[in-house]
């Protein structure tokens, strides 16, 4: 057991003690303050050592050596009612992050005003409602499966936004329809490799609309759309852009020289200049649209989502969907799921290999640039499909145990949703370029307290 | 104990449990001054499962739960919403941890629920039918 794992043991022990000793959440005698929490202790074993399985964005995950990192987490949430209509909520969540650490993070911190029985406003830091289960994606106990579907939920690297929302509830017959308008900015770190620092993800000026309809007989339908401005950058991508720009300046000198280097110099320079906006995209139009359906009544529990991500200028458009079916037999819920993510459009490497008779160094450096850009683009190659089989056991009133097997198939020229520690390595290149089927096994204990 | 006896004993226990469940009735109660005459199982479920904070009268509902160990609670959620205690718990985990709603206040006994309903015209609760008296108004009976 590594030193890192040893440091994690107290966290796991504390979580277990909390869940066993604190059956119910705490409520102050006057009823104004409530404290509750949730957590997961999960172990994942990946069927390959060539790439790691994690929740996208984390710095590393499971290989054939099982890991606690992808799923284990603990959170505490407090709500204080300042008046019958105004409340304040804070949630502190600790999970394995983009820097490979367990650092408590303020996931939510918002105030809510119930202006009328049907109308509420919130402001502060809240869950970014891209998906059907965005708000409780980390609450394993509240979900049938071990984790939110990665093919779909891995498309968006942010989980929270700072801003405001307004919700209006209508009762139509026996259905309840909640319409929410939200606006704000999101910021997150996303680890794409061990060899570079986490990407700083910014989605600014987001505005979104969600319609959640709870129909009768256990059905509910959810429609959501958002748009905003996406920026991605880290120190390594800025270095790469500097290198490309210098090379472009170098090649430009030959554009005014004698033929045949003139034409080739101009073409190469133009292609190098395209690297900066590609690896440091700034304020690009991005949108996300999703449709979800659930059925949860009596024995059957069914859920599915169909989503589309669009980042036009970066050509990072994806379509992803999942469908899950579970059937309750007493305290056991065996379940089955299928899911898929597909790139609709993918950015191609713009770098043209220079062929300058009078500048062999530029020729060599353009080849280096080409492969560096390939490595950056590699993490956007996320096509894969997953077949999931598992069982949830409601072992205690506040604790569920899940065993899950995911068979993930990814085509050649895709990393799927796997984490590739060093994209430049031979192992990584082989993984990227071959079709693979990988079995991922998960055993987790989810609890609320 | 041989297998035959074990099966007979289990069957007898199951029948007994079934008989107890079948005999128990649960009444959804409100304040006698409330304008609500009746409520559907769906409306009651919506209020107790955080889908709606409104009573059919348009007022903000003040719901009260019985403890998890109570049989009336189990019958209420299974008959009104088709949900087992674990499903109810998972539903509230979803709502609580998305900051959307907080679960109904939990009161220890049917007498406490009645006391709340008598004191608050917007309160709504459920108790065993046998515990109903003239201080409260029954708007739905589940069995």
| A397 min Cα distance to partner chain B (Å) | 6
pLDDT tens digits along A68-78: 999 999 999 99
Alpha carbon distance A290, A307 (integer Å) = 4
A285 contact partners, CB below 8 Å, separation of at least 6: A227, A229, A230, A310, A311, A312, A313
- Nearest-Cα distance to chain A for B130, in Å, is 27
Nearest CA in chain A to B62: A84
Strands A73-81 and A86-95: antiparallel
Pairing of strands A160-172, A436-448: unpaired
With beta carbons under 8 A apart, name residues in chain A contacting B52. 169, 171, 176
Query: Which domains are present in chain B?
Result: 24-142 (3.40.190.10)
Nearest-by-Cβ selection for B93 from A79, A142, A328? A142
- Which chain A residues have a beta carbon less than 8 Å from that of B85? 397
What's the CA gap between A33 and B133, in Å, rounded? 33
User: Token pair of A22, please?
Assistant: 């604190």
pLDDT for position A9? 52
Q: Would you call A264 helix, strand, or coil by DSSP?
A: helix
**Interface touch A397/B53, C-beta < 8 Å:** no
User: Is-contact A350 A248, C-beta < 8 A?
Assistant: no
Beta strands in A129-247 (DSSP E): 160-172, 175-190, 199-214, 219-233
Instruction: Say yes or no for a CB contact (<8 Å) between B84 and A328.
Output: yes
Question: What is the Cα–Cα distance from B39 to B55, expressed in whole angstroms?
Answer: 9
Q: For residue A116, give every residue at least 6 positions away whose Cβ sits within 8 Å of its Cβ, in sequence order, or none.
A: none
Whether the pLDDT of residue B19 is over 60: the answer is: no
Query: Cβ A139–B52 below 8 Å, yes or no?
Result: no
Q: What six digits make up the tokens of A284?
A: 């690009």
Nearest to B98 among A34, A135, A394 (CB): A135
Angle at A129 between CA A125 and CA A132, to 5 degrees: 145
**What is the per-residue DSSP string for A317-386?**
EEEEEEEEEEE-BTTEEEEEEEEEEEEEE-PPP-PPPP--TT-HHHHHHHHHHHHHHHHHHHTT---EEE
Q: Does A398 touch chain B (CB under 8 A)?
A: yes
H helix intervals, A80-158: 150-153
Interface test with A, best of B99, B101, B107, B116 (most A CBs within 10 A): B99
pLDDT band at B11 (very low <50, low <70, confident <90, very high): low
Task: Confirm if A332 and A401 have CB atoms less than 8 A apart.
Answer: no
CB contact under 8 A, B58 and A397: no
Strands across the sheet with B105-106, in order? B105-106, B62-65, B123-128, B26-30, B137-142
pLDDT score at A29: 78
Say if strands A33-46 and B26-30 run parallel, antiparallel, or are unpaired. Answer: unpaired
User: pLDDT 10s digit of each residue in chain A, 449 long?
Assistant: 444 544 555 555 555 555 554 455 787 877 788 899 999 999 999 999 999 999 999 999 999 999 999 999 999 999 999 998 899 999 999 999 999 999 999 999 999 999 988 899 999 999 999 999 988 999 999 999 999 999 999 999 999 999 999 999 888 877 889 999 999 999 999 999 999 899 999 999 999 999 999 887 789 999 999 999 999 999 999 999 999 999 999 888 887 776 677 778 888 999 999 999 999 999 999 999 999 999 988 899 999 999 999 997 777 899 999 999 999 999 999 999 999 999 998 888 999 998 888 888 899 999 999 999 988 888 788 999 999 999 999 998 899 999 999 999 999 999 999 999 999 899 999 999 999 999 999 999 999 98
Identify the closest residue of chain B to A400 by CA–CA distance.
B86
B110 is written with which tokens?
A: 């049917």
- Proportion of chain B above pLDDT 90, given as a percent: 53
Q: What is the largest CA-CA distance in chain B?
A: 60
Residues in A touching B42 (Cβ below 8 Å)? 174, 216
The secondary structure of residue B129, as a DSSP letter, is G
> Which residue on chain A is closest to B53 by alpha carbon?
A117
Contact between B89 and A118 using a beta-carbon 8 Å cutoff: no
Mean pLDDT of chain B: 85
Residues written for chain B: 143
Are A324 and A144 spatial neighbours (Cβ–Cβ below 8 Å)?
Answer: yes
Which pLDDT value is given to residue B50? Answer: 87
Contact (Cβ atoms closer than 8 angstroms) between residue A408 and residue A416:
yes
Strand partners, A36: A77
Pick the CATH number of A3-448 from 3.40.640.10, 3.30.70.3040, 1.20.1050.10, 2.40.160.10: 2.40.160.10
B98, B108, B123: best mutation site toward chain A, by most A Cβ within 10 Å?
B98
Looking at per-residue pLDDT, the higher value among B18 and B65 belongs to B65
* The pLDDT of residue A1: 40
CA distance A35 to chain B (A): 10
Q: Which residues pair with residue A203 across a beta bridge? A: A186, A230
Q: Considering only CB atoms, which chain A residues are within 8 Å of B90? A: 141-142
Q: Which residue of B has its CA nearest to A117?
A: B60
H or E element: which one contains A392? strand A384-396
- CB nearest B82 (choices: A75, A218, A394): A218
CB atoms B102 and A34 under 8 Å? yes
B75-107 residue pLDDT tens: 999 999 888 888 898 889 888 887 778 889 889
- CA atoms within a 13 Å half-sphere pointing along the CA-CB vector of A23: 5
So what's the pLDDT on residue A3?
45
Among A40, A141, A159, most B C-beta atoms within 10 A, so best to mutate, is A141
Count of beta carbons in the 10 Å neighbourhood of residue A320: 27
Burial grade of A17 (CB within 10 A; 0-12, 13-18, 19 or more): exposed
CA B56 vs. chain centroid, Å, equals: 17
What's the CA gap between A387 and A337, in Å, rounded? Answer: 6
Residue identified by tokens 């996300």 is A288
- Alpha carbon of B41: minimum distance to chain A alpha carbons (Å): 10
Residue B2: count of CB within 10 angstroms of its CB: 7
Query: Is there a contact between B97 and A126 if contact means CB atoms under 8 Å apart?
Result: no
Q: What is the pTM of this model?
A: 0.86
Distance CA A194, CA A50 (A): 14
The whole-angstrom distance between B123's CA and the closest CA on chain A is 14
Test A142 with B59 for CB contact under 8 angstroms: no
- Give the nearest partner residue to B52 out of A91, A176, A397, using CB atoms: A176
Residue spans of beta strands (DSSP E) within chain B = 26-30, 62-65, 105-106, 123-128, 137-142
Q: Which stretches of chain B sit within 8 Å of chain A by CB?
A: 40, 42-43, 46, 51-54, 58-60, 68, 81-87, 89-91, 93-94, 96-100, 102, 105
Region B42-50 average pLDDT? 90
- CB pair distance less than 8 Å for B42 and A127: no
How far apart are the CA of A302 and the nearest CA of chain B, in angstroms? 13
């Amino acid at each position: 057991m590594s030193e890192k794992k040893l440091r994690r043991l107290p966290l796991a022990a504390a979580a277990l003690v909390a869940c066993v000793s604190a059956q119910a959440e705490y409520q102050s005698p006057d009823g104004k303050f409530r404290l509750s929490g949730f957590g997961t202790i999960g172990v994942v074993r990946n069927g390959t050592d060539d790439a790691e399985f994690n929740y996208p964005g984390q710095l590393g995950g499971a290989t054939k050596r099982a890991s606690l990192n992808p799923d284990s987490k603990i959170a505490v949430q407090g709500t204080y009612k300042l008046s019958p209509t105004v409340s304040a909520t804070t949630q502190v969540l600790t999970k394995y992050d983009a820097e490979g650490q367990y650092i408590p993070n303020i996931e939510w911190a918002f105030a809510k005003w119930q202006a009328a029985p049907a109308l509420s406003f919130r402001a502060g830091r809240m869950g970014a409602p891209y998906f059907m289960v965005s708000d409780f994606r980390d609450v394993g106990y509240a979900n049938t499966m071990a984790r939110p579907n990665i093919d779909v939920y891995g498309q968006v690297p942010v989980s929270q936004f700072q801003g405001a929302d307004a919700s209006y509830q209508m009762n139509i017959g026996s259905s309840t329809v909640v319409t929410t308008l939200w606006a704000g900015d999101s910021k997150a770190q996303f680890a794409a490799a061990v060899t570079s620092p986490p990407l700083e993800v910014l989605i600014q000026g987001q505005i979104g609309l969600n319609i959640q309809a709870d129909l009768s007989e256990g059905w509910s339908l959810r429609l959501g759309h958002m748009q905003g401005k996406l920026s991605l950058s880290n120190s390594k991508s800025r270095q790469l852009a500097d290198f490309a720009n210098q090379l472009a300046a170098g090649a430009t000198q030959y554009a005014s020289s004698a033929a045949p280097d003139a034409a080739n110099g101009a073409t190469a320079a133009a292609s190098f200049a395209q690297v900066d906006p590609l690896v440091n995209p700034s304020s690009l139009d991005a949108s996300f649209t999703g449709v979800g359906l659930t059925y949860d009544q009596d024995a059957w529990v069914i859920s599915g989502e169909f989503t589309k991500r669009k980042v036009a200028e970066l050509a990072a458009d994806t379509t992803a969907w999942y469908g899950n079916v579970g059937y309750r037999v007493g305290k056991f819920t065996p379940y089955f799921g299928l899911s898929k993510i597909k790139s609709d459009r993918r950015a191609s490497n713009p770098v043209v290999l220079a062929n300058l008779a009078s500048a062999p160094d530029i020729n060599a450096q353009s080849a280096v640039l080409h492969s560096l850009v390939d490595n950056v683009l590699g993490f956007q190659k996320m096509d894969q499909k997953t077949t999931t089989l598992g069982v949830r056991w409601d072992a205690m009133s506040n604790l569920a145990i899940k065993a899950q097997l995911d068979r993930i198939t990814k085509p050649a020229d895709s990393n799927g949703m796997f984490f590739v520690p060093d994209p430049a390595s031979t192992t990584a290149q082989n993984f990227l370029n071959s079709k693979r089927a990988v079995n991922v096994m998960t055993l987790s204990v989810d609890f609320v307290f | 104990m041989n297998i035959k006896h074990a099966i007979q004993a289990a069957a007898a226990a199951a029948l007994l449990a079934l008989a107890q469940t079948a005999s128990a009735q649960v009444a959804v109660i409100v304040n006698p001054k409330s304008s609500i005459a009746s409520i559907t199982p769906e409306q009651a479920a919506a209020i107790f499962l955080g889908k709606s904070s409104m009573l059919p009268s348009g007022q903000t509902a003040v719901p009260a739960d019985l403890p998890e160990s109570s049989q009336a609670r189990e019958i209420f959620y299974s008959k009104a919403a088709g949900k087992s205690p674990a499903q109810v718990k998972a539903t509230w985990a979803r709502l609580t941890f998305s900051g959307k709603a907080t679960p109904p206040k939990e009161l220890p006994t049917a007498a406490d629920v009645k006391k709340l309903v008598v004191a608050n015209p917007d309160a709504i609760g459920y108790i065993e039918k046998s515990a109903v008296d003239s201080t409260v108004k029954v708007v739905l009976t589940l069995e």
